[in-house]
């Protein structure tokens, strides 16, 4: 997650989920995704105890 | 004095005492909006007919000797993501403009109506609440009533600006990462983001359900308390709404602050801001004799996790439209939603687990302190159309995104936060956040009331309303 995401990678990922993205904004989306992944690295590398459950609680 | 320049308490008292009628108040508020909205663009829809009908209902109750409610005849506006019966809920978008009108009012709108308040219109916002500036491409930017060349903040910009300009004494907004507190600070008014689950979101267009809150804006602490008391409490129709009974705050306002342990936040919350913002927080701290400093651990990671949850949930909510009709999105939000759609699920789940861990750390902080102070925004309102990046403390930051640097770690954990407008903060308004443990809103109101009584915070009607 340390390398910037490329326009080609965005195009491939978007195709996988069926999300059309115009060629002229692929680089912009790549920049946005790079920023999100950089933010994610801040907490994804942070070790949590295994017994920490996700915050939302489902009430049946 | 204009109707909006009068406070909610003053108006309600006058209506109940028959010194004026709700119909006269509504007519005057509608005239204020007519006169100034062209320059400010706070309202996307004025509900003139409904306002007259609701005002007539209040006047009938008064005439019959029945209780018209604590907000009798008080005009208010609601961000246009709140359902209003008979009006299409835009949520700042062009896409939603094609939807049929809402069948009923959102729970918060209905609660204020039950309290006697009179809805006068629906207010501008960033598309789908994804922004901090209300520079909406479809409906135009909302202009700051203190300097019309600057943004009002967002995403509840129309709601904050309308209160600041004296068009209405009260507004409703929503806050996912700072969307009540940022515009409150930039427009120089009071804004409350209650505890997560304290106020029902039923009938509100969601953005990121894990983080979405609704709350009020006002120009005095008592008006804000009266409004919050009308809003708070359980609602079984909102699965996120707490079952905890309402805990009225209006009656707490005069209790003083002598028994409260108040501290100023340092570390993360005392850097990456312009000096004026930090000075404002220090000034409020001195006024409260708060000599203690506290750190909220891992706030930077909390903000990062909030970004990932917001991007993931927001993108999922709009994925179908992103696939079918991307050209109808605001260019300012579309590509951010798209990038959120491409995030791996593992990061989203990790962010939610981190949130649970962070909640425990924040609970630990509040064992030793009752209220924490920190700036609301790192700087005052940027110009409309400002460059994408700006320099703060020698570091390049995103001009718009960085507005939420101090607000998003707090909404992430769901604690109640009030942004108070610091008196004479400089050429532009600045706010300071008062933060308490979950469901301890009353402590925020007690501190805000003391600051207001001492002249440290104030929300005079803005002078550049056009």
Its sign, for the CA torsion B327, B329, B334, B340, is negative
Architecture of the domain defined by B8-453? Alpha-Beta Complex (3.90)
How does pLDDT run across B376-422, given as a tens digit for each residue?
Answer: 999 999 999 999 999 999 999 999 999 999 999 999 999 999 999 99
**pLDDT for residue B239 is more than 80:** yes
Cα angle B305-B442-B439, degrees, rounded to a multiple of 5: 40
**pLDDT for residue B1 is more than 70:** no
Q: List the alpha helices (DSSP H) in B165-274.
A: 181-187, 221-231
Cα angle B203-B204-B209, degrees, rounded to a multiple of 5: 120
Q: Note the pLDDT of residue A60.
A: 67
Q: Does A7 touch chain B (CB under 8 A)?
A: no
Of B322, B323, B342, nearest to A10 by CB-CB distance is: B342
Confidence of residue B3 (pLDDT cuts 50, 70, 90): low
Residue B196, helix vs strand vs coil: coil
Q: How many residues does chain B have?
A: 466
Distant-in-sequence, close-in-space partners of A14: CB < 8 Å, separation ≥ 6: A20, A21, A29, B338, B341, B342
How does pLDDT run across B265-318, given as a tens digit for each residue?
Answer: 999 999 999 999 999 999 999 999 999 999 999 999 999 999 999 999 999 999
Cα angle A53-A55-A58, degrees, rounded to a multiple of 5: 90
Of A13, A36, A48, nearest to B357 by CB-CB distance is: A48
Confidence of residue B327 (pLDDT cuts 50, 70, 90): very high
Can you give the pTM of this predicted structure? Answer: 0.97
Q: In the beta sheet, which residues pair with residue B374?
A: B433
How high is the ipTM of this complex?
Answer: 0.94
How does pLDDT run across B85-121, given as a tens digit for each residue?
Answer: 999 999 999 999 999 999 999 999 999 999 999 999 9
DSSP-derived pairing of the beta strands B371-375 and B262-265: parallel
Please enumerate residues of B whose Cβ is less than 8 A from a Cβ of A: 210, 239, 298, 300-305, 307-308, 311, 319, 322-323, 326, 335-336, 338-343, 347, 349-357, 359
Domain positions in chain B = 8-453
- Contacts B353 to A, Cβ<8 Å: 48, 52-55
Encoded tokens for B307: 């970004």
Of A36, A43, A52, nearest to B356 by CB-CB distance is: A52
């Amino acid at each position: 997650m340390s390398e910037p995401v490329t326009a080609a990678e965005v195009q491939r990922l978007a195709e996988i989920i069926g999300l059309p993205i115009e060629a002229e904004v692929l680089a912009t989306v790549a920049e946005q995704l790079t920023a999100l992944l950089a933010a994610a690295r801040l907490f994804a590398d942070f070790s949590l105890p295994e017994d920490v459950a996700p915050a939302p609680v489902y009430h049946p | 004095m204009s109707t909006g320049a009068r406070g909610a308490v003053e108006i309600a008292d006058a209506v109940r005492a028959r010194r004026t009628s709700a119909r006269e108040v509504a007519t005057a508020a509608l005239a204020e909006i007519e006169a100034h909205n062209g320059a400010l663009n706070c309202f996307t829809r004025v509900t003139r007919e409904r306002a007259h009908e609701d005002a007539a209902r209040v006047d009938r109750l008064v005439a019959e000797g029945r209780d018209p409610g604590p907000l009798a005849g008080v005009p208010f506006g609601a961000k246009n993501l709140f359902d209003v019966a008979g009006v299409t809920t835009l949520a700042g978008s062009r896409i939603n403009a094609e939807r049929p009108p809402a069948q009923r009012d959102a729970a918060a709108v209905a609660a204020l109506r039950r309290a006697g308040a009179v809805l006068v219109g629906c207010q501008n916002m960033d598309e789908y609440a994804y922004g901090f500036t209300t520079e909406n491409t479809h409906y135009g930017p909302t202009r700051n009533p203190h300097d019309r060349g600057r943004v009002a903040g967002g995403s509840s910009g129309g709601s904050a600006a309308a209160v600041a300009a004296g068009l209405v004494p009260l507004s409703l907004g929503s806050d996912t990462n700072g969307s009540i507190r940022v515009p409150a600070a930039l427009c120089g008014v009071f804004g409350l983001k209650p505890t997560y689950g304290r106020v029902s979101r039923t009938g509100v267009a969601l953005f990121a359900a894990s983080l979405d809150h609704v709350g009020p804006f006002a120009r005095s602490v008592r008006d804000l308390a009266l409004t919050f008391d009308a809003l708070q409490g359980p609602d079984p129709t909102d699965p996120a709404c707490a079952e905890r009974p309402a805990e009225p705050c209006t009656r707490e306002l005069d209790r003083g602050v002598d028994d409260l342990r108040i501290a100023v936040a340092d570390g993360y919350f005392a850097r990456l801001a312009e000096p004026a913002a930090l000075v404002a927080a220090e000034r409020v701290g001195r006024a409260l004799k708060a000599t203690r400093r506290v750190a909220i651990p891992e706030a930077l990671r909390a903000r990062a996790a909030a970004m990932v949850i917001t991007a993931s949930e927001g993108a999922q909510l709009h994925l179908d439209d992103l696939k079918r009709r991307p050209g109808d999105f605001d260019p300012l939000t579309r590509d951010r939603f798209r990038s959120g759609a491409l995030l791996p699920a593992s990061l989203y789940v990790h962010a939610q687990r981190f949130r649970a861990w962070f909640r425990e750390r924040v609970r630990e902080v509040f064992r030793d302190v009752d209220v924490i102070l920190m700036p609301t925004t790192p700087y005052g309102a940027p110009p409309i159309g400002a460059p994408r990046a700006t320099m703060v403390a020698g570091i390049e930051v995103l001009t718009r995104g960085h507005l939420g640097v101090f607000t998003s770690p707090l909404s992430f954990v769901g604690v109640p936060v009030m942004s108070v407008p610091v008196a004479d903060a400089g050429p532009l308004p600045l706010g300071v956040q008062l933060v308490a443990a979950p469901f301890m809103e009353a402590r925020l109101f007690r501190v805000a009331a003391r600051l207001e009584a001492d002249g440290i915070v104030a929300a005079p009607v803005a002078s550049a309303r056009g």
